Structure 1
Amino acid sequence: MIPFNRPPYTGNEEQHVLNAMRSEKISGDGKYGLLCQQWFEEKLNCNKALLTPSCTQALEIAAILIDIQPGDEVIMPSYTFVSTANAFVMRGAKIVFVDIRPDTLNIDERLIEAAITSKTKAIVPVHYAGVGCDMDVIMDIANRHHLYVVEDAAQGMMSTYKGKQLGSIGHLAAFSFHETKNLTSGGEGGLLIINDPQFVARAEIIREKGTNRSQFFRGMVDKYTWVDIGSSYLPSEIQAAYLWAQLELADQITENRLASWNSYYEQLSNLATQEKFELPIIPENCQHNGHMFYLKTKDLLQRTELLSHLKAEGVYAVFHYVPLHNAPAGKEFSRFNGADLFTTTESERLIRLPMWFNLDQDSLNHVVKSVLSFYEKN
């Protein structure tokens, strides 16, 4: 069976992890943690980058930083992972979903303004498949209505929008280093990006259990103490060391995934032009990172049949999110503003094909051949 995913692995992880294990500090923000954070600050040109144990926790810090209170509203797409919503729901927010664009499956920026009320506090665009949302429009709306923008860039590391790195545009951003992402910190991991300098000092405090411990280690205070709310949001040096091995080859990993993505696209384009299915659309002003390759079938029935066919051919392909507004918790903690024209129907058509760093060409060709054989029979 060709798996859907294999965690990215460069070969340098063992040495860095071993070095971390033998060091005098294996808790958070040691040598490797600081190296990783400096790399992100330079790559994304942000004010501060803070590693977290997961993207979920990075979003939770963001929700605290923008002072989400019970009754506040946060606008986002329903076609996303549950953490995007949960981080704000845990602070008492009501989630307001708007429809997605059928081309990129990102939030439809044209529908955001109509969803804004006096209770709206933030917009959370999700860069689906590492393809950037229309951030110029979103930032303009946010600036005119005095709203915060938190980019959910979980899938977007090494992708750009109009030449700007995803995650470097909003006030705050969150990335994921889960094993299914292009880069991993050993299976789990995340990153908080702070572009608005007003949040830097408090973010460090929240991340350090509500203490000014970071300031103490920099010699800014003579002892550290409890000064704010917070939690334990630091990953260990083991995670950071694993991630550092991947950052050393981040460009190579991205190029390799893009090569696989392009191979899929080229081999499947002929049937797509015959309207057997639809392939991803990448806007001209976006450079994606090859995070995922998907196709969209005619309808839910055809997707079910194709998934069954691929499984019989030894290919493990998957569908993706069930829209959050259709989930039990979604009905309790959210509302959908406007009509659901695309969110549900597009989600029911989508199939993700196997994709990972160093996906061998024989496996990729077998996946393509299996897809083609389905449509030859149907």
Structure 2
Amino acid sequence: MIPFNKPYLTGKEAQYIEEAVRSGKISGNGMFTQKCQRFFEEKYGFKKVLLTTSCTDALEMCAILANIQPGDEVIVPSYTFVSTAIAFIRQGAKIVFADSEPDNPNIDVTKLEALITPKTKAIVPVHYAGVACDMDVIMALAEKYNLLVIEDAAQAIDSYYKGRPLGSIGHMAAFSFHETKNIIAGEGGMLTLNDDQFINRAEIIWEKGTNRAEFFRGEVNKYGWVDTGSSFLPSEIIAAFLWAQIENLENIQKKRLEHWHYYYEHLQRWAKKNSIKLPIVPEYATKNAHMFYLVCESLEQRTRLIKHLKDNSILSVFHYISLHSSPYYEMKHDGRSLLNSDAFTDRLVRLPMFYELDVDLVASKIIEL
């Protein structure tokens, strides 16, 4: 069976984990944590980076930093993973779900302004498949209505919008290093901060509500409990694993992009013949080959494709079920139809994508259908 995903190991992960263990410091914010954070700050120009144990944790930190209160409204695309919404629900927010674009799963920016009310506090664009939302429109709305923009960049490492790294445009952003992502740490995530007003408090929230980070830098003579927070920082073992991946980021990206282009070039004629749509990358965006997906003509066609691939020992998967229709939130949703989000729920299928993939075999089996 060709799996949907296979974690790629560079060969240095175990070595760096052993180094972390032998250093005598395997709790958070040690040598490997700081190396990872410094790399992302220098390569992508983020003002401040804090590693977290997951992207969900990074989003929860964003919700705390945004000072979300019960009754505040947060605009979130319906076609996304549950973490995008639940981080703000835990702070008491009302989630206002936005529809996707007609031709790609990203948030439909033309319909955003109509969703903004005096209670709106933040917009959370999700860069689906590592392809940027139209951030100029989103940032202009945020400025007009005095809103925060929190980028859910879980899938968006090493991808750009008009030459700017994703995660560097909004006030803050969250990334994932889950084993299905381009670079991985098993679990793991990252908070990026692009507005100075959030940096000091973020470190406190990150360290269980204490000013411990300031203490270890010698900025205060003792530390204590000064704010809310949690144990959001990962262990050095996670950071050591991630550092081995970071060292190979360029190589990993090159290989994944080769797979992406192979799929695109070899499936075009077949897709057109079968009324299936390939991914669309707007002119303002780049792709990072996080995934390759197809949008089928119908649920039935998608079901046949998934079965055909499984019969040929290839695992493909559908993706999100629209959150506005989930058992948890359907009674809280305002009743608007989100037709594009529902269409992607029924029709989108993700093909295998990983470093060691035999992409030629997968593409050839698809074309047989």
- Per-residue deviation at 1:273? 2.9
In structure 1, the residue matched to 2:60 is 60
Mean Cα deviation higher: 347-356 or 78-87: 347-356
Change (3 A) 1:19 1:79: same
1:265 maps to amino acid: Y
- Per-residue displacement from partner, 1:109-155 (whole Å, max 9, x unpaired)? 11110000011000000000000000000000001000000000000
In structure 2, the residue matched to 1:136 is 136
TM alignment of 1:45-84, pairs within 5 A: 45-84=45-84
TM alignment of 1:367-378, pairs within 5 A: 367-374=362-369
RMSD: 1.0
Of residues 352, 355, 362, the one that matches 1:354 is 352
Task: Name the count of aligned residue pairs.
Answer: 369
Change (3 A) 1:333 1:45: farther
Mean Cα deviation higher: 126-135 or 97-106: 97-106
Mapped to 1, the partners of 2:34 and 2:344 lie a distance apart of 41
1:357 maps to amino acid: Y
What SS class does the counterpart of residue 342 from structure 1 fall into? helix
Mean Cα deviation higher: 257-266 or 98-107: 98-107
**Residue 123 of structure 1 contacts residue 149 of structure 1 at CA under 8 Å; is this kept in 2?**
yes
Mean Cα deviation higher: 339-348 or 303-312: 339-348
2:166 maps to amino acid: L
- Per-residue deviation at 1:104? 2.4
Mapped to 1, the partners of 2:302 and 2:89 lie a distance apart of 32
- Per-residue deviation at 1:252? 1.2
What SS class does the counterpart of residue 330 from structure 1 fall into? coil
1:326 maps to amino acid: S
Find out whether 1:85 has 2:111 as its counterpart.
Answer: no
- Per-residue deviation at 1:276? 3.1
Mapped to 1, the partners of 2:229 and 2:9 lie a distance apart of 33
Find out whether 1:287 has 2:286 as its counterpart.
Answer: yes
Of residues 339, 342, 345, the one that matches 1:344 is 342
Mapped to 2, the partners of 1:209 and 1:289 lie a distance apart of 34
- Per-residue displacement from partner, 1:154-175 (whole Å, max 9, x unpaired)? 0000000100000000000000
Mapped to 2, the partners of 1:251 and 1:104 lie a distance apart of 27
Mapped to 1, the partners of 2:356 and 2:198 lie a distance apart of 38
Mapped to 1, the partners of 2:334 and 2:165 lie a distance apart of 31
Mapped to 1, the partners of 2:293 and 2:207 lie a distance apart of 39
Taking structure 2 as the reference length, the TM-score comes to 0.98
In structure 2, the residue matched to 1:364 is 359
- Per-residue displacement from partner, 1:206-250 (whole Å, max 9, x unpaired)? 010000000100111111100001110010000000000111111
Mapped to 2, the partners of 1:358 and 1:239 lie a distance apart of 23
- Per-residue deviation at 1:76? 1.3
In structure 2, the residue matched to 1:232 is 231
- Per-residue deviation at 1:275? 4.5
In structure 1, the residue matched to 2:298 is 299
- Per-residue deviation at 1:373? 1.4
- Per-residue displacement from partner, 1:21-68 (whole Å, max 9, x unpaired)? 111211111000000000111122121000000000000000000100
Q: Which runs of 5+ in 2 are unaligned?
A: none
Mapped to 1, the partners of 2:19 and 2:334 lie a distance apart of 49
- Per-residue deviation at 1:365? 1.8
2:367 maps to amino acid: L
**Residue 89 of structure 1 contacts residue 333 of structure 1 at CA under 8 Å; is this kept in 2?**
no
Report sequence identity in percent. 57
Mapped to 2, the partners of 1:301 and 1:210 lie a distance apart of 51
- Per-residue deviation at 1:358? 2.8
- Per-residue displacement from partner, 1:168-194 (whole Å, max 9, x unpaired)? 000000000000000111x10000000
TM alignment of 1:125-204, pairs within 5 A: 125-185=125-185, 187-204=186-203
1:373 maps to amino acid: E
What SS class does the counterpart of residue 229 from structure 1 fall into? coil
- Per-residue displacement from partner, 1:88-126 (whole Å, max 9, x unpaired)? 000000000111012221000111100000110000000
Mapped to 2, the partners of 1:230 and 1:153 lie a distance apart of 22
Mean Cα deviation higher: 170-179 or 269-278: 269-278
In structure 2, the residue matched to 1:102 is 102
Q: Which runs of 5+ in 1 are unaligned?
A: none
What SS class does the counterpart of residue 330 from structure 2 fall into? helix
What SS class does the counterpart of residue 328 from structure 2 fall into? helix
- Per-residue displacement from partner, 1:289-345 (whole Å, max 9, x unpaired)? 000001111100111111111111100000000010010112245446x53121101
1:87 maps to amino acid: A
Mapped to 1, the partners of 2:215 and 2:332 lie a distance apart of 40
What SS class does the counterpart of residue 317 from structure 2 fall into? coil
